[in-house]
Amino acid sequence: MLYDLPVGKGRRFMNHGGIANAVIGGWRISSIVTAGSGFPTGVSTGTNRSNAGGDRPDAVIGQNLKLDNPTTGQWFNIQAFALNQPFVWGNVGRNVLTGPGVRTWDFSTLKDFSFSERRYLEFRFEGFNFANHPNFGDPNASLTSNAVTGTGVAIPGTGSFGTISSLRAGIDMRELQFSLKLVF
């Protein structure tokens, strides 16, 4: 939906015409804001200890999965998981993690420069992810991306388990474009 700014000829403010109207009058704007929660993702061991494949780890009793202030360097508590016992599937549920949310703001503005009643030149400016907000991808959820202790718990700082190292696919950083369209 386009919103006509109330400035310029035939509008509420500065409606006398002249140079001011030619420069700042007659603009229209549009905006789309997208905000969403993160996507669910599961944790895997990265090994085949069950001899059936698709192993999930065991939950470590007394360890909270969530962090108060997650960062891309540590999105969740990696010490809340331990390798499953041999020939047994782990007890961690499916999709227990939630990745980072998605936030974008797309913005556009345009103005028509009239030559006659049916002929005009349209100038358009569009910005996608205009605020240039990074939309991070899901965290690495493979336990054996880190070295593990003798009890199978990840050792912090020894790998990429629980870290985010990419941006969300399909959502680019800021993209700007200008266009002209001649209508005759």
HSE-CB at 121 with a 13 A cutoff on CA atoms is 6
**Whether pLDDT at 113 is above 90:** no
117-168 residue pLDDT tens: 889 999 999 999 999 999 999 999 999 999 999 999 999 999 999 999 999 9
Average pLDDT over residues 91-100: 95
Answer whether 98's CB lies under 8 Å from 42's CB: no
11-52 residue pLDDT tens: 777 777 677 677 777 889 999 999 999 999 999 999 999 988
Angle subtended at Cα 116 by Cα 7 and Cα 122, rounded to the nearest 5 degrees: 55
Quickly count: other Cβ atoms within 10 Å of residue 23's Cβ: 11
60-86 residue pLDDT tens: 999 999 999 999 999 999 999 999 999
